[in-house]
Amino acid sequence: MFENYYADTINSKVLYEEATTIIPYGVSSNYRFFDPYPLYLKRGKGSKVWDVDGNEYIDFNLGFGVLEVGHSNEIVAEEVYNAFKESSILGFEYCKAIELAKIIKKRYNVDMVRFSSTGTEATMHSIRIARAYSRKKKIIKFEGHYHGSHDQLLVNVNPTKEGIVPSSLGIPEEVIKNTLIAEWNNLESFEKIIRENKDIGAVIMEPIAMNMGLIPTKLDFLKGVVELSRENNIVVIFDETKTGGKYNSGAAGYFNLEPDIKVIGKSIAGGLPLSVIAGKKEIMSVIGPGKVAHGGTFNANPLSVRAAIVTLEKILTENAFYHMHRLSEILESGYKDIAEDSKIELSVTRWGPSGSIYFLDKVPMSYKEFIKADFGKWGTYFFAMLSQGVIPMAGFNEQWTISIKHSEEDIRKHLECADNAIKLAKNKRTEVNLDESF
């Protein structure tokens, strides 16, 4: 499986061996590591990236969904350059943060916003806000959902056994004793937890589950979660770190459901770090000195704010979404044709500009169904795609993303390579240890 990868990425291997002497596992995020060693990239432009060996790849990972504007977008680059000439950070509040807040308020139908830098920070603060408002301490999350790497929510992200399972060493039992786990797309599971626990302050979820591929959401289930939460005075948090930039008004607008708090991030700032905690006025008003703490030196810094304004106002327009969604639909249809022609157990799912494939006979609807997939076949497929110059997605728990810079030719090349890769994977199975794959 690795033969071509070894031959094509010699310099990545050299860098990896050097990096591991000063950086654990040679990467700055665990999610960038994969066996036998990670790929080290040098630059990107449009829909393509180049690694340290000079190999060119059509990029459908796009920084885990961040770069819907494409790599080195000219409009974003010019705006960031102009912003930097006025200062990259000012220490006090940046005046244009108010303009961005108004754009977010209108686009996502919220009352008030606060800015952070990453999704991890925003989800961490969102549950603190929800607890302060509800005056209750327990949190419900869903198995297989990922909300960043802070202790209280880094639970049952990729469990391999039953029960409450921390997804990292170093998380004390005391920290997660108030974190409750429900099964996605299973309203009875959620309802049972509510019946058995009277101190639930909030429920947090990805409205489209995008950390076990891309699992479709049953609308009746999602409506049921919101309705039951309202009936029991539970704050509803939609973690739209990934979904917020895939439709004009995010998943909440797509489903016509309004949570109490939305966390928005990734693609809305054109590749720069920015996240948003947005919600109802009565809930957001608990933030403030002497009340709920929320801070961050780089919150609403000029570079990210200016990049977000041009991204939302000038780049991620209705025409841009039409282009991305159309190409994503072509990719989805092509994968379905490949699956039918190759007579392989392969299922395909898509939402907006993103989608995923599973080496399963049907699209999974929960984490328990997701882990039944043949990840060995997926590994063969993935490295075969890399050897042909396509990064199809980041890992078997991720999805493809289309940018405004992708072309029909990019899609054609992707599908041509996928046809070869899936045929190669058809008769192979390699066991994968899930505990070491995230």
Burial of 385 (0-12, 13-18, 19+ CB in 10 A): buried
At 428 the pLDDT is: 72
pLDDT at 436: 46
- List strands edge to edge, sheet with 390-391: 41-45, 48-51, 56-59, 390-391
In the numeric block, the tokens 């022609």 are attached to 341
Domains identified in the chain and CATH numbers: 3-68+317-436 (3.90.1150.10), 74-315 (3.40.640.10)
DSSP 136-182: --EEEEETT----S-GGG-BSSS-SSSS--BSSTT--HHHHTTEEEE
Give residue 433's pLDDT.
Answer: 53
How far apart, in whole angstroms, are the C-alpha atoms of residue 404 and residue 293? 38
Per residue of the chain (438 residues), give pLDDT as tens: 788 999 999 999 999 999 999 999 999 999 999 999 999 999 999 999 999 999 999 999 999 999 999 999 999 999 999 999 999 999 999 999 999 999 999 999 999 999 999 999 999 999 999 999 999 999 999 999 999 999 999 999 998 888 899 999 999 999 999 999 999 999 999 999 999 998 999 999 999 999 999 999 999 999 999 999 999 999 999 999 999 999 999 999 999 999 999 999 999 999 999 999 999 999 999 999 999 999 999 999 999 999 999 999 999 999 999 999 999 999 999 999 999 999 999 999 999 999 999 999 999 999 999 999 999 999 999 999 999 999 999 989 999 999 999 999 999 999 999 999 999 998 775 555 555 443
CA distance 62 to 83: 24
pTM of this structure: 0.95
59-60-61-65 Cα dihedral, nearest 10 degrees: 120
Task: Report the amino acid identity of residue 296.
Answer: G
- In terms of residues, how long is the chain? 438
pLDDT for res 160: 84
Would you state the pLDDT for residue 438? 39
| Measured distance CA(129)–CA(286) in Å, rounded | 7
